[in-house]
């Protein structure tokens, strides 16, 4: 009898746990969600995160707040994401640096971009643009390179920390054209941009997302777009090829969560992300900021997993051969 009672109690508890689990999952989200941006406010990753968050709030019906956790090329923030509870209330927005270059550059990295997260999806691809401070005497990329070479002793280049997209693009460009600036690391390319506008650093290479508003306002000089085609909203800026340098570089952002999310929660997040990316307001802003939104299989969890694995495999030997060292 006693045994039977125990079995029944056990069954009851198991059922309650199952029902509780189901309720918890269907009720998701029942409170505020945090998106960790691993760079400073106002930069490319932050801009994309805030736009997507605004649209996802509409679908999920709960506030989404952004927490900027900069440092170590974005790996500080992404470590925080990897180590958070996998309950759907902590989301991270990584980029080509944190999700593909970091393992080659940080021997003590506490996450593996391909294993430590549940991938939600790729948000955008954005070409890089080579820009300089307005005080530079150069009008073209060729003139800028000549000026950089002639002024190497004092030349400075801003970037968002070792392994960030701007850092990697800078290293590749410098090696290709033969310039050796002193590199200045910031907690994101928004603060780097502030110093470029103020004339505190000479040049940098960053996603069009960060460049377009300043280039249009004339507060920086845009020399070339490192892509095969020009950007619609910067029609007068040539491609690198047109400017005489065969240098291509682009960046991307992606949404991930800590590993182990309940399937139902993951599906809700993927659905909310998809709806956000398909909203007219988001699409229009991305075009304005020179970015493309991935479509179909390239966008969701499987598309992001494939991108991360392919990019880690592609970039690791390049960074090692280039002698780029992290910390
Ligand atoms: N654009 C940055 C990078 O170079 C990061 C950012 O501020 O979004 O990785």
Give the pLDDT confidence score for residue 327 in this predicted structure: 66
CA–centroid distance, 63 to ligand 1, in Å, is 25
Segment 44-74, tens digit of pLDDT: 999 999 999 999 999 999 999 999 999 999 9
Alpha carbon 132 to its chain centroid, in Å, reads 22
Angle between helices 263-278 and 44-60 (to 10 degrees): 110
Give the pLDDT confidence score for residue 16 in this predicted structure: 39
Ligand 1: atom nearest CA of 164 is 9
Give the pLDDT confidence score for residue 23 in this predicted structure: 42
Closest C-alpha to ligand 1, atom 7: 188
CA–centroid distance, 18 to ligand 1, in Å, is 42
Give the pLDDT confidence score for residue 117 in this predicted structure: 98
Ligand 1: atom nearest CA of 188 is 7
Ligand 1: atom nearest CA of 47 is 8
CA distance 260 to 221: 45
Mutational pocket test of ligand 1: of 39, 100, 130, 210, the residue with most ligand atoms within 8 Å of the beta carbon:
39
Residue 140: which of 199, 223, 31, 260 has the closest Cα?
223
Residue 120: which of 325, 294, 271, 225 has the closest Cα?
271
CA–centroid distance, 193 to ligand 1, in Å, is 10
Give the pLDDT confidence score for residue 318 in this predicted structure: 86
Ligand 1: atom nearest CA of 160 is 4
Give the pLDDT confidence score for residue 38 in this predicted structure: 98
Site residues for ligand 1, CB cut-off 6 Å = 39, 43-45, 95, 97, 160, 164-166, 188-190, 206-207
Closest C-alpha to ligand 1, atom 5: 188
CA–centroid distance, 164 to ligand 1, in Å, is 6
CA–centroid distance, 32 to ligand 1, in Å, is 26
Give the pLDDT confidence score for residue 287 in this predicted structure: 94
Q: Which residues of the chain have pLDDT under 70?
A: 1-26, 327
Give the pLDDT confidence score for residue 6 in this predicted structure: 47
Helix then strand count (H, E) for the chain reads 12, 9
Instruction: State the distance between the two ends of the chain, measured CA to CA, in whole angstroms.
Output: 65
Q: What is the pTM of this model?
A: 0.89
What rounded mean pLDDT belongs to the chain?
92
Mutational pocket test of ligand 1: of 38, 45, 123, the residue with most ligand atoms within 8 Å of the beta carbon:
45
Ligand 1: atom nearest CA of 70 is 7
Ligand 1: atom nearest CA of 96 is 9
Give the pLDDT confidence score for residue 324 in this predicted structure: 77
């Amino acid at each position: 009898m006693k045994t039977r009672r125990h079995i029944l109690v056990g069954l009851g508890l198991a059922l309650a746990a199952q029902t509780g689990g189901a309720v918890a999952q269907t009720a998701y989200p029942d409170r505020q969600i945090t998106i960790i941006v691993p760079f400073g406010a106002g930069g490319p990753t932050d801009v994309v995160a805030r736009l997507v968050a605004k649209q996802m709030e509409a679908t999920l019906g709960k506030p989404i707040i952004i927490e900027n956790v900069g440092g170590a090329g974005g790996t500080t923030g992404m470590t925080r994401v990897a180590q958070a509870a996998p309950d759907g209330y902590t989301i991270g927005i990584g980029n080509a640096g944190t999700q593909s270059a970091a393992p080659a550059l940080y021997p003590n990295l506490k996450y593996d971009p391909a294993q430590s997260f549940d991938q939600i999806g790729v948000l955008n691809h954005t070409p890089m643009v080579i820009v300089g401070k307005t005080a530079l005497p150069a009008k073209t990329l060729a003139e800028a390179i000549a000026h950089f070479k002639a002024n190497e002793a004092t030349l400075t280049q801003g970037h968002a920390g070792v392994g960030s997209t701007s850092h990697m693009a800078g290293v590749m460009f410098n090696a290709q054209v033969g310039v050796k600036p002193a590199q200045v690391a910031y907690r994101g390319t928004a603060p780097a941009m502030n110093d470029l506008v103020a004339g505190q650093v000479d040049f940098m290479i960053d996603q069009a997302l960060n460049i377009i508003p300043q280039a249009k306002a004339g507060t920086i000089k845009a020399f070339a777009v490192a892509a095969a085609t020009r950007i619609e909203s910067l029609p007068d800026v040539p491609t690198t090829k047109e400017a005489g340098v065969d240098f291509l570089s682009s960046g991307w952002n992606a949404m991930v969560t800590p590993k182990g999310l309940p399937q139902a929660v993951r599906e809700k997040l993927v659905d909310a992300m998809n709806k956000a990316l398909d909203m007219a307001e988001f699409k229009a802003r991305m075009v304005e900021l020179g970015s493309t939104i991935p479509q179909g299989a390239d966008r969701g969890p499987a598309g992001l997993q494939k991108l991360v694995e392919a990019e880690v495999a592609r970039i690791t030997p390049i960074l090692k051969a280039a002698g780029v060292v992290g910390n």
